């Protein structure tokens, strides 16, 4: 499988330019270290996120399609989006444009009025940062580059909702040997294991963090996050590895809120999987943006000799 995706179009999305900047930084640093080229989509726009979808799904489809159209114009066959939300929305746009005439109509109408080429489904493939590393470098390639093994670090791999659900927008998943599973995803587990981490058997890999209502329904989110945190601790995890800025920030935010509002303190740390991979390959915690996380994982990183 390794060997694909050496040079891909990069779609960071809004969160990676704001609160999820550590994910942006660490993704780029890991790409550089692995010799993978990322070329940012020129003048990209928001993918539409869940919020626009709630107002009208066809506008979200147009917003995502505009980005794919630019990537196509730049000559790329593949777009890599590290954010679960963006990844999900680009995939969903691809699906809706292929299957739903109404979405196609609105997309071509808006594209025409906005003065750019209408995106036709099937032109550009959207992948996640996990697919990117897994299929370009692979576990073996990654293991060869590890200089600072994550040995002794117990990790709960958390994938959230948008990476696997709903199944129909991810036709390449659940698709035979080597493909990702939607019921029990494992790409992050595979990569971190290659970097030496000890993955704990975490039953809430695809449970929900309540990110959709992180602010609008705080109490629900706090309960859901607290469940994720305490379960990770019960599984013996030192750290929860994340691959989505919304999940990541949600976990950090509601870990603090659970302590302040419910008096429930948890001490499990939260790091992006790209931060863990970067440190395993000898990058400093600063290079992968650990200081930009809201929760402080430095004591654990020092204790485990990772930085």
Q: Which is nearer to another protein, 195 or 283 (CB)?
A: 283
Contacts of 35 (CB under 8 A, 6+ apart): 6
Beta strands in the chain (DSSP E): 7-10, 37-40, 78-81, 125-128, 154-157, 198-199, 239-242, 269-272
Q: Which residue has the tokens 């809120």?
A: 257
CA 26 to CA 257: how far, in whole Å?
26
Residues lying near another protein in the complex (CB under 8 A) are found at 14-15, 17-19, 21, 43-46, 48-52, 54-59, 62-63, 66, 106, 109-110, 113-115, 161-162, 164-167, 182, 207-208, 210-213, 215-217, 220-221, 223-224, 252-253, 256-257, 259-261, 289, 291-296, 298
Q: In angstroms, what is the minimal distance from the CB of 148 to another protein?
A: 21
CB of 234 to another protein, least distance (A): 17
Question: Least distance to another protein from the beta carbon of 146, Å?
Answer: 27
* Closer of 29 and 63 to another protein (Cβ): 63
CB of 116 to another protein, least distance (A): 8
Contacts of 201 (CB under 8 A, 6+ apart): 235
- Which residue number, 63 or 281, has a Cβ lying nearer to another protein? 63
- CA atoms of 124 and 44, how far apart (whole Å): 15
Question: DSSP label at 212?
Answer: G
Cβ proximity to another protein, 197 vs 212, nearer residue: 212
Nearer to another protein, 98 or 114 (CB): 114
How far apart are CB 224 and another protein at their closest, in Å? 7
Which residues touch 135 (CB under 8 Å, ≥6 apart)? 1, 2, 3, 4, 5, 127
CA distances in angstroms from 112 to 62, 108, 109, listed in the order given: 11, 6, 5
Q: What are 234's two structure tokens? A: 């019960």
Shortest distance in whole angstroms from residue 296 CB to another protein:
6
Distance, CA of 93 to CA of 72 (rounded, Å): 15
Give me the least distance between CB of 209 and another protein, in Å please.
Answer: 9
The two structure tokens encoding residue 202? 């975490």
**Is 7 or 213 the residue whose CB approaches another protein more closely?**
213
Which residue number, 29 or 192, has a Cβ lying nearer to another protein? 29
């Amino acid at each position: 499988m390794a060997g694909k995706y050496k040079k891909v179009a990069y779609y960071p999305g809004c969160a990676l330019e704001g609160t999820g900047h550590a994910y942006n930084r660490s993704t780029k640093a890991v790409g550089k270290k692995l010799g993978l080229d990322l070329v940012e989509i020129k003048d990209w726009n928001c993918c539409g996120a869940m919020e626009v979808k709630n107002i009208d799904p066809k506008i979200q489809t147009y917003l995502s399609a505009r980005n794919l159209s630019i990537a196509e114009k730049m000559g790329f066959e593949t777009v890599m989006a590290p954010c679960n939300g963006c990844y999900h929305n680009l995939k969903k746009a691809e699906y809706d444009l292929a299957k739903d005439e109404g979405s196609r109509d609105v997309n071509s109408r808006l594209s025409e009025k906005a003065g750019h080429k209408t995106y036709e489904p099937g032109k550009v493939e959207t992948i996640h940062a996990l697919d990117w590393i897994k299929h370009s470098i692979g576990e073996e390639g990654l293991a060869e580059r590890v200089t600072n093994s994550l040995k002794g670090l117990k990790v709960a791999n958390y994938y959230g909702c948008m990476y696997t659900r709903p199944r129909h927008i991810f036709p390449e998943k659940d698709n035979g040997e080597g493909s990702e599973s939607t019921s029990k995803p494992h790409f992050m587990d595979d990569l971190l294991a290659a970097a030496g981490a000890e993955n704990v058997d975490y039953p809430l890999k695809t449970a929900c963090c309540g990110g959709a209502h992180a602010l609008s329904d705080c109490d629900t989110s706090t309960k859901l996050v607290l469940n994720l945190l305490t379960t990770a601790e019960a599984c013996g995890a030192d750290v929860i590895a994340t691959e989505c800025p919304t999940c990541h920030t949600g976990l950090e935010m509601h870990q603090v809120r659970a302590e302040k509002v419910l008096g429930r303190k948890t001490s499990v740390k939260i790091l992006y999987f790209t931060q863990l991979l970067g440190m395993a390959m000898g990058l400093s915690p600063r290079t992968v943006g650990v200081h930009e996380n809201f929760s402080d994982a430095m004591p654990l990183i020092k204790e485990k000799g990772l930085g």
